Structure 1
Amino acid sequence: MADIIQLLPDHVANQIAAGEVVQRPASVVKELLENAIDADATSIKLIIKDAGKTLVQVIDNGKGMSTTDARLSFERHATSKIRTAEDLFKLHTKGFRGEALASIAAIAHVELKTKQEHDDVGNTIEIEGSIVVSQEVVVTPKGTSVSVKNLFFNIPARRNFLKSDTVELRHVIDEFHRVALAHPNISFALYNNGSETFNLPISNFRQRIVNIFGSKTNEKLVPVDEDTEVLKISGFVGKPEFAKKTRGEQYFFVNNRFIKSAYLNHAVSSAFEGLLKNGTHPSYFLKLEVDPQTIDINIHPTKTEIKFDDEHTLYALLRSAVKHSLGQFNIAPVLDFDRDPNLDTPYHYKNNNANIPKIEVDRSFNPFQEEHNSRARAVAYKKEPTPSWDSLYVGMESKGNTNQIDFSEVHFESERQTASMFENENELEQTHTTYQIHNKYIVSTIKSGMLVIDQHRAHQRILYEDFLKNMTIKEATSQQLLFPLELYFSKQDIEIIKQLKDDLEHTGFVFSNVTKESVEVKGVPVGVPESEVSIILEQLISDVENEVPDSNFSATDLLAKSMAKSLAIKTGQSLQKDEQEHLVNKLFACKEPNVSPTNRTTFITMSVDELDKKFI
């Protein structure tokens, strides 16, 4: 039998490796930024075009590379970080496997310019699909500049899997945030399609968080600091009242490397137990320092997952450190739950003595003294004598009075007509009785048997079609707020709101002012509670960034779905009889009552025959 196993060509092997290392433009951003940090750069610029599909360029002022190193950097498994297998457990750098540049060069057009400080000139290398096109001397400043153009140009199938520019840009910014937060001692700048998005100067950790997420973030942070032999914890957690519906602002850094850990996330969440509203998640920016020999960072291609030697100890230390900080800064409730803070003595009254009130008595006052002898007679209040009950009947007809009252001319005031909150009340009176089960399902009878409706999904369908209609005909009604709401968001969230501003106004929102960090809302759609406005906008931003449900849908459709999801009646909400019946009638007035906006079943029917079979 002929041999069937053969070695892969280098360019194919590099493309396969690229599939592990480079999933999207954000993966290139991560690798290039980490290389710049390993080069001891103090200033790093990231330039992207078309969310990184056309160009990803990273410019740093690091130590640069020699001519030989510049050429070897594009070879697979060529690295300056490790010499033996034991070095894998003593790593203090970001990249170490020597696959990043080789993988990127296999699927893109790469141009590298680099110069060391003591050299007069630098070197430039151009590579297209692992093939070196040119290498020559060039005049360039100290440091390294790597330009990655036309990502996945030779693998069109992979390029087709990329999402829209909005989603890919969000992933790029996420990677930028992770690297920038881990290294506040380095200045970072991000330029998107020619405009400056971020310019982060060298600062401390708290200032770096505020510079990225907005000035309002400063008042939301609670410091966490714990130093033990096993683990050193520093950073900040968000106050419980600022918890969000999404998990966006959750960052763990182990030895200055961003990681994802559901186990450690559970430790932080358990520290917030009893302080968060249902369905919300705390924000945290925590740096953990451990001995490199106690962790293994080589278990995942993107190095975002780490294996710890003693996870249980880390869990306990992290949970207690966060809980201690929340209690230390009076975030957690005190033992005296009934204490009223309004009864606390203000600081400026703390050392003051109490003033004894003076009592003055009119010793000449005599309640038995006659009125004409009283000096206060002129101002005394004289109570009119109350007439006897007989006087109430004075003027009524006597026995001999023959006057009769003609009641035919008496007109009764008609009862005031109040508008009903439900439409077609007459139809509601004729519908069958409905019942609510576990505050989740509405049960109604039909001719063939029984109807069971999921109240949350049904209301989503009703609101979705209403919002879609309002945005299409652009005639939505709005209720004005007595006091405008000022809501604060990060810079990239504000950009999304600006993109959706016109569609939001067609649903009934009215914006009076939109700045770089805040949005002022002075009108909301009818029926939207004021307290829900920030939740609706946060959910909408999250849906747009993650392209829920899909990029094939229009922005209007996505907006209607997101708002319907936020405002729909929740599972567990009790409904009155007329509300239940109104929900049923409105659902079957929809164009597609069978499914929710996310294509989930809204109701099921069960015939009498099916019920009979249950009792056989």
Structure 2
Amino acid sequence: MGRIRILPDHVANQIAAGEVVDRPASVVKELLENSLDAGATRIRVEVEAGGRKLIRITDDGHGMNRDDALLAFERHGTSKLRTADDLLSIATLGFRGEALPSIASVARVLLETATVEDPAGTRLEIAGGKILRVEDAAVPVGTSICIQDLFFNTPARRKFLRAESTELSHVTALVTHYALVHPEKHFELFSATHTLLMAPPVARPAERIYQIFGAETLGQLLPVAAESALERAGLPEPPPWKRNPDEPKRDPGFLRISGFYSKPELQKLNRNSIYIFINKRLIRDRLLLHAISEAYRNIIPPTSFPVVLLFLEMPPEEVDVNVHPAKTEVRFRQQNLIHDFVRDSLRAALVKSRPTAGFLAALDNTVLASPTLMPPPISHLPGQPDDALAQPSELDSEGIYPADSAFQLVPPAPSPGMGNLPFLPHESPGRFDPQQQNWQAAAAALFSPMAEALIPAQGEDNVTQSQTQMSDTSQLTTSVEVHREQSNLNSLSTLRPLGQLRDSFILAVNDEGLWIIDQHVAHERVLFEKILASRDVESVQRQRLLMPLLVDLQPWQMAVFANIADELDRNGFEAEPFGPRTLAVKAAPVGLEGRELERMLTEVIEQAGGEAEVTGRQEDMSTLRRRIAASIACHSAIKVNTPLESQKMDWLLKELSKTEHPTSCPHGRPIALRYSWKEIQRAFQRI
């Protein structure tokens, strides 16, 4: 008897389920994407026991007839592909036809669906991949699918699920992300006893961010938008002699980027607060994560990460989403183009905005960056023991983001019939009493004033509430955005120095308030940009040493020096090996000498070697160039505990105002903190 055999269908489906479904959030993702592909404008998600016991998703999409409902649970049954060529241009979120049969093989499924054309809807019941019942039903147009007892027939898989609170965190984060990318749609998320998300449609993404996360989070983010024609980057129109005259002129297509990014003062300890969408698909891509990190290079510390919400649009044929069963990884046709476009767009927005860091924001970010003071997941509901809060990893196997990140849900505006206040916001000092019936009073005690303005008065009808809420949201987000645009560093040139604080910080004033400037990092930023500009035109000033400076290095450091020697030479160094483990430095950039020169050279070599060891490849020239410039600037800049005359302080402030990015030094430390005039008045109870 032969050894090769064909697996039964139910076994093959369970294997596929292991690739597509590994936790309740995976089920929610697949079903939610199906609802969006079906043109739904209103989506309701309900979960119990973190999704183990029940997941129900109801939408008002176009629905299915009886035949389609049955075919949808056959392997590779799909309405979104016809030929293999369709794989080259996928414009839908789902397309494989694996999700429904995989889910049905490990759960009990009840599907109710109806279309406008058919006189009756369809009710379909499946358990463990076997159809139990099919019948006509009077159901509204759209689809409702109920998943019960997930992994009931695969107990080994069920044991790998995390605590209910953790699974609920992943589900909530997923629904929140899709609500962000579809502000024009209505999203609802309910647990067994709480309303976790209520997001009516709004006109702009900024309003959705305010609606879900509140004014404080929106105030810490800045908008970005850019566009680039693809034909400029490798997809030109073919020459006339190669083009078929009968074919229409090809649309070159565009790359578009929009979204929000955080001010440099807001820094996180991991990448959990970076959200990326490609053509409204939630993804986790190393290429784009690297591009975002490069955009913030020399603006925030290398061990910190920003908060970014990024939406990319491009022709479907430019991105291959068929590289992972969960569809969270993609491959770009023009990787270098996409990487540079994202990096340059974000960096240009950062340079243009020049955001100001305030005293209170700087103190708040000390808390945000502390690993011991991270807020609990939103699933920490009243009555749950603390040990139930199993923290999700930075990125689970499916690429679903956890909820314990910079974006924290604030309570939505309740609507009639919602009952008590849904849950307690993270920032609240106490716990919400679930027995309290007056949610209006509870909201007044827990919500910020701006969030409280979103609560409708009792007795209003649904239409009036929705219109009022959208109007209030629009006005409040506009107010936040106007304030955000006015808060930048464009007024540095008007500063008047008052003196120094302990010979290390410059005190200055202008019409906006009181400023404290770190003299060392301010001079460091000035020198950094001057060094880069001089390097670009090959005009770096160098000074020859009276006697060569001998620097002892390890053998591996000598090898690294050989790789970066040309770039060091272009930055003003003249050095050559002087024996097997010694380097002789004969010239150096102006401002470096003695011990500082030796420390700077050793630092650059060690950093370049460490980068190669971690990534397994050499640094690109642009990164190496900026690293060398940052190190030269740091070791040449004015030191702390250095008295400065008034003219010197005034010169430094004027030079700082001319830099492209005076927010932070090349190593990410803040340069200037502003105590605004309004904050001063408020502190003295003048307003």
The TM tier, using the shorter chain, reads: 0.5 to 0.7
CA contact (8 A) 2:217 2:407 kept: no
Q: What are structure 1's unaligned runs of at least 5 residues?
A: 334-458, 460-471, 473-486, 503-512, 519-616
Residue 273 of structure 2 is matched in structure 1 by 249
1:214 aligns with 214
User: Which residue in 2 is equivalent to 1:515?
Assistant: 446
Tell me if structure 2 keeps the 8 A contact 1:326–1:332: no
Quick one: which amino acid aligns to residue 229 of structure 2? E
In 1: Cα distance, 2:215 partner to 2:123 partner: 41
Deviations along 1:24-54, whole A, 9 cap, x unmatched?
0000000000000011011000001111000
Say whether the 8 Å CA contact 1:494–1:516 is kept in structure 2: no
- The alignment partner of 1:491 has SS state of coil
Q: 1:494 deviation in Å? A: 5.0
> Equivalent residue for 2:228?
228
Pairing 1:262–2:193 present: no
**Contact residue 291 and residue 343 of structure 2 kept, 8 A:** yes
Q: Secondary structure at the match of 1:110?
A: strand
Q: Which residue does 1:56 correspond to in 2?
A: 55
Q: Give 1:277 deviation, angstroms.
A: 4.4
Q: Are 2:337 and 1:313 aligned?
A: yes
Contact preservation (8 Å) 1:224, 1:236: yes
* Superposition deviation, residue 123 in structure 1: 0.7
- Give the aligned residue type for 2:42: S
Matched letter for residue 293 of structure 1: E
Displacement of 1:279 after TM fit? Answer: 3.5
The equivalent residue for 1:23 is: 22
Residue number in structure 1 paired with 2:645 = none
Indicate how the Cα distance of structure 1 residues 261 and 6 shifts in structure 2: closer, same or farther if over 3 A, else same: same
**Structure 2: distance between partners of 1:98 and 1:304:** 16
Gaps of 5+ in 2: 231-254, 358-371, 373-385, 387-405, 412-422, 433-443, 450-687
Residues 320-399 of structure 1: matches in 2 within 5 Å?
A: 320-331=344-355
1:271 matches 2:295: yes
Q: TM-score, normalising length from structure 1? A: 0.55
1:208 deviates by 1.6
Q: 1:263 to 1:517 in 2, by over 3 A?
A: farther
Q: Which has the larger radius of gyration?
A: 1
The answer on whether the counterparts of 1:43 and 1:60 sit within 8 Å (CA) in structure 2 is yes
Letter aligned with residue 112 of structure 1: L
Shift in Å, 1:296:
1.1
C-alpha distance in 2, partners of 1:36/1:517? 34
- Encode CA deviations 1:45-104: one digit per residue, 9 max, x unaligned: 000111100001000000010010011111000111111111011111111011111000
CA RMSD of aligned residues (A): 3.0
The residue aligned with 2:76 is 77
Inter-partner Cα distance in structure 2 for 1:240 and 1:64 = 46
Q: CA deviation at 1:121?
A: 2.1
Q: Which residue of 1 aligns with 2:170?
A: 171
Question: What corresponds to 1:65 in structure 2?
Answer: 64
Deviation by residue 1:519-544 (Cα, 9 ceiling, x = unmatched): xxxxxxxxxxxxxxxxxxxxxxxxxx
CA distance in 1, matches of 2:193, 2:39: 26
- Three-state SS of the structure 2 residue aligned to 1:241 is coil
Match of 1:297 in 2: 321
* 2:339 counterpart letter in structure 1: Y
SS in 2 for 1:223: strand
Paired residues of 1:40 and 1:62 also in contact (CA < 8 A): yes
Partners of 2:408 and 2:426 within 8 A in 1 = no
1:86 aligns with 2:85: yes
Tell me the amino acid that sits aligned with residue 288 of structure 1: L
2:409 is matched with 490
- Post-superposition offset of 1:310: 1.4
Q: State the Cα distance separating 1:174 from its structure 2 match.
A: 1.8
Counterparts of 1:515 and 1:260, CA distance in 2: 34
Residue 57 of structure 2 aligns to a residue in which SS?
Answer: strand
Which amino acid is 2:132 matched to? V
Residues 1:117 and 1:516: Cα distance change in structure 2 (over 3 Å): farther
Deviations 1:307-328 (A, max 9, x none): 1111111111111111111121
Q: CA deviation at 1:500?
A: 9.5
Counterpart of 1:525?
none
Asked if the contact 1:189–1:199 (Cα under 8 Å) also holds between the matched residues in 2, the reply is yes
The separation in 1 between residues aligned to 2:214 and 2:117, in whole angstroms, is 40
TM-score for the superposition, normalised by structure 2: 0.50
Query: What SS does the corresponding residue of 2:17 show, helix, strand or coil?
Result: helix
1:84 to 1:489, Cα distance in 2 relative to 1, 3 A: closer
Indicate how the Cα distance of structure 1 residues 514 and 270 shifts in structure 2: closer, same or farther if over 3 A, else same.
farther
Map 1:529-540 to 2 at 5 A.
Answer: none
- 1:328–1:79: structure 2 CA closer, same or farther, 3 Å change rule? same
Aligned residues: 361
Q: Which residue of 2 aligns with 1:444?
A: none
Distance 1:66 1:489, change over 3 A: closer
Partner residue in 1 for 2:538: none
Q: Which residue of 2 aligns with 1:34?
A: 33
Provide the C-alpha distance between the structure 1 equivalents of 2:148 and 2:310, rounded to a whole number of angstroms: 35
